[in-house]
Structures are given as C-alpha cells and as structure tokens.
C-alpha cells in the first residue's frame, strides 16, 4: 500500500470517512486536502499529510496532486436541500475544483495517475420521477439548477479528459448520504434529511415536547445511502476497471419521509405529533437508485438497512446533544 493517495474534500463528512477507510485498508501515504483549516475538519488524522488548500485555484491543485497515484475528488460546496436551493452560485463554482484538478493531472503535474474519482450526484436526474420508479444512469438528464448543473458539467468534463488525455476516470452519482457526523453544531441546514430528522427527534425527546415539523407532505420517497456503504462503494469503484461512465451509488431500500419518522419514533422510544410545512424546500417528490450497473461492475451493493443507519446516527446526535 505504498501508492500516494490524495483525498480532496477530506475535511468534509464523506471525505473524512474515506481517509479513515483508506487507513484501515493499510494505505500510509495519504494526502488529505480541504479548504478549511485542519482544526475545523470533521475528521483529521495525524498519520496523514493534512493540507489546507482552496482547490478552486489552479496552483493549489498542482500542489494537491503532485506525485499522486490515486486522486479522489469529493471537494464541493454541498448540503441539504435547504442549502443548495439558496446557494446556487457557490455550488456551481465547485466546477473550478474538478476543472483545475484535471488540468493539473493532464498538464504533467503527475507522471500517470492510476485512477481519478469524481463524486457526482443524483441531482443530475429529472425532478419528475414517479413513486416506485428507479432511475438508471442512461435515463434522461435534466439537472437541477445550481448544484445539479455543476455536477453534470463536471461529469462531461471528466469524460472529455479521459478521452483526450487518457486519464482513468471513475464517476459515481451519490444518492443522499447520511450517518454519524453529518450533524455538526453550527451547520444546521447543511445536513441531510436523515440527520436533520434525527436532530428534531432528539430535541423532542430531550425537551419533552413530543412534536415534529416535517418539510413537505412527508410522502416524498428516497433512498438514503449510509456513509460506510458510500466509502466502501467509492473505494471498490476506484479499484475496478470501470472507466468514465457514471455509476449510481444508492441504497436499494426506498422509503417515505413519514416512514423514516416512524422508524425514528421506535428508535427513540417516543410518539410524535406531526406538523407539515408545505412551503418548506423539499426537492424532488420521488427518487430511487437503480443499482443494476453498480452490481454488475462490483458484484456488490450497499447492505446497511435504513433502520440500522438511523439507529447509529440518532445515538450519535442524541448523545452529542446531552453532552452539549
């Protein structure tokens, strides 16, 4: 495990978990990169090279990828639906990160990378899916404004660099990722639905006010990808022979928001009165991942049930709130 591995976005939720996963696999020459100071990273490991760089800058990308064998690009401005709908400019400027990393690799800063991974999103898909309909990678692409457009543009740029500069590319379309660590004090609004709901349920239990506000009508359907499954799939995809074509990474379990709240009531041991905010941002009404391509390539798909993942996430948030 002597290859140099670069993880861009290592200060974030998924990036930090990926660094931890790679260390567990035996990798020792890891460069972790994030735009925030290291002391503000969600996870930081003393045994790796931790660097603060703004990867929207080309010279920063040259430093980041120097000597790399494997480059994981998970760096982006991202959050829950409430964040991405209000910060479209910031989300779209993340395209500079992917652009400059690919340029730095193609223009000779690296002798020859064995693989470049780009974390895309299910936000490249249309907002008109029906309940029970699973989205395939070759289905119609109609990206959501801002974040979705940035992801689709970056996917196409990866494909072009792969074709014209012979860079081995892996592209994954993440469906909503959650897990312990997605809920951080001061980041409310940037966490995703499972963590946001875990926080609301924990607040209800601690306060004794057994009620919850749910965005939308609660009948939105989603698949939620547990973070451990996400990094496992990311590593497996990078290690595979798959090149360029995007691959869905999502859970095979589809639930409504109301069903998820019911699970959390059971986990927390309380019953909640539900109130609904029809004017709140909800994103698409229905979305589910077709994992056929993922299973074909990796002979594997995510295995953590939503109940298992929510249990771990809720305990982490509830315990943290008690300590606060």
Task: For 259-271, write each residue's pLDDT tens digit.
Answer: 999 999 999 999 9
Is 113 in contact with 70 (CB distance < 8 Å)?
Answer: yes
In the three-class reduction of DSSP (H, G, I as helix; E, B as strand; rest coil), residue 23 is classed as: helix
Q: Is the dihedral of CA 51, 1, 230, 162 positive or negative?
A: positive
Lowest mean pLDDT among 16-25, 36-45, 138-147, 183-192: 183-192
pLDDT surpassing 90 at residue 29? yes
Which of 27, 72, 116, 147 does the annotation list as catalytic?
A: 147
Q: How far apart are CA 32 and CA 5, in angstroms?
A: 8
What percentage of the chain has pLDDT greater than the value 70? 92
Lowest mean pLDDT among 53-67, 72-86, 261-275: 72-86
Two tokens, residue 320: 């943290």
Residues 6+ apart with CB under 8 A from 139: 125, 126
Q: What are phi and psi of 38, to 5 degrees?
A: -55, -35
| Nearest residue to 301 via CA among 287, 289, 291, 314 | 291
The answer to whether 147 is a known catalytic residue is: yes
In the three-class reduction of DSSP (H, G, I as helix; E, B as strand; rest coil), residue 134 is classed as: coil
192 Cα distance to chain centroid: 10
- The residue length of the chain stands at 324
Instruction: Report, as an integer, the average pLDDT of 142-155.
Output: 87
pLDDT surpassing 60 at residue 186? no
pLDDT at 79: 64
pLDDT surpassing 50 at residue 193? yes
> In terms of pLDDT, which residue wins out, 243 or 17?
17
Q: All domains of the chain, ordered by start, with CATH?
A: 5-177+225-249 (3.40.50.720), 179-223+253-286+304-323 (3.90.25.10)
| Nearest residue to 111 via CA among 67, 50, 149, 157 | 67
Instruction: List alpha helices for the chain, DSSP H.
Output: 13-24, 58-65, 81-84, 88-92, 95-104, 147-165, 193-207, 227-239, 257-268, 292-298, 306-323
> In terms of pLDDT, which residue wins out, 17 or 90?
17
Instruction: Report, as an integer, the average pLDDT of 71-88.
Output: 79
Two tokens, residue 32: 């972790």
pLDDT at 89: 84
With cut-offs at 50, 70 and 90, classify the pLDDT of residue 241. confident
pLDDT surpassing 80 at residue 17? yes
pLDDT at 192: 79
pLDDT surpassing 90 at residue 140? no
With cut-offs at 50, 70 and 90, classify the pLDDT of residue 32. very high
Instruction: Report, as an integer, the average pLDDT of 39-43.
Output: 94
With cut-offs at 50, 70 and 90, classify the pLDDT of residue 77. confident
> In terms of pLDDT, which residue wins out, 188 or 12?
12
Is 72 in contact with 18 (CB distance < 8 Å)?
Answer: yes
Instruction: Report, as an integer, the average pLDDT of 240-244.
Output: 77
86-132 confidence digits (pLDDT tens) = 778 888 889 999 999 999 999 876 667 999 999 999 989 887 667 77
| Nearest residue to 12 via CA among 227, 223, 224 | 227
Is 127 in contact with 144 (CB distance < 8 Å)?
Answer: yes
pLDDT at 85: 72
């Amino acid at each position: 495990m002597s290859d140099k591995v670069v993880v861009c976005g290592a200060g974030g939720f998924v990036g930090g978990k990926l660094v931890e996963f790679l260390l567990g696999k035996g990798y020792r020459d890891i460069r972790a990169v994030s735009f925030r100071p290291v002391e503000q990273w969600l996870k930081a490991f003393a045994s790796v090279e931790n660097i603060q760089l703004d990867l929207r800058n080309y010279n920063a990308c040259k430093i980041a990828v120097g000597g790399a064998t494997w480059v994981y690009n998970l760096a982006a401005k991202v959050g829950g639906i409430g964040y991405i709908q209000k910060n479209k400019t910031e989300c779209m400027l993340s395209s500079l990160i992917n652009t400059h990393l690919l340029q730095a690799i193609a223009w000779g800063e690296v002798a020859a990378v064995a693989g470049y991974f780009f974390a895309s999103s299910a936000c490249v898909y249309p907002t008109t899916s029906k309940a029970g309909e699973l989205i395939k990678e070759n289905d119609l692409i109609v990206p959501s404004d801002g974040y979705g457009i940035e992801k689709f543009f970056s996917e196409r740029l990866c494909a072009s660099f792969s074709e014209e500069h012979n860079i081995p590319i892996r592209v994954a379309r993440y469906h909503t990722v959650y897990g312990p660590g997605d809920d951080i004090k001061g980041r409310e609004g940037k966490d995703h639905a499972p963590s946001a709901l875990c926080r609301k349920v924990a607040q209800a239990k601690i306060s004794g006010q057994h009620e919850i506000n749910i965005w939308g009508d609660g009948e939105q359907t989603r698949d939620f990808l547990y973070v451990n499954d996400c990094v496992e799939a990311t590593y497996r995809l990078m290690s595979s022979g798959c090149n360029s074509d995007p691959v869905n990474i999502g859970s095979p379990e589809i639930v409504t928001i109301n069903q998820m709240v019911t699970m959390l009531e059971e986990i927390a041991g309380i019953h909640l009165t539900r109130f609904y905010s029809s004017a709140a941002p909800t994103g698409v009404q229905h979305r589910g991942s077709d994992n056929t391509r993922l299973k074909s390539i990796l002979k594997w798909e995510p295995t953590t049930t939503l109940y298992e993942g929510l249990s771990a996430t809720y305990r982490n948030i509830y315990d943290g709130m008690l300590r606060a």
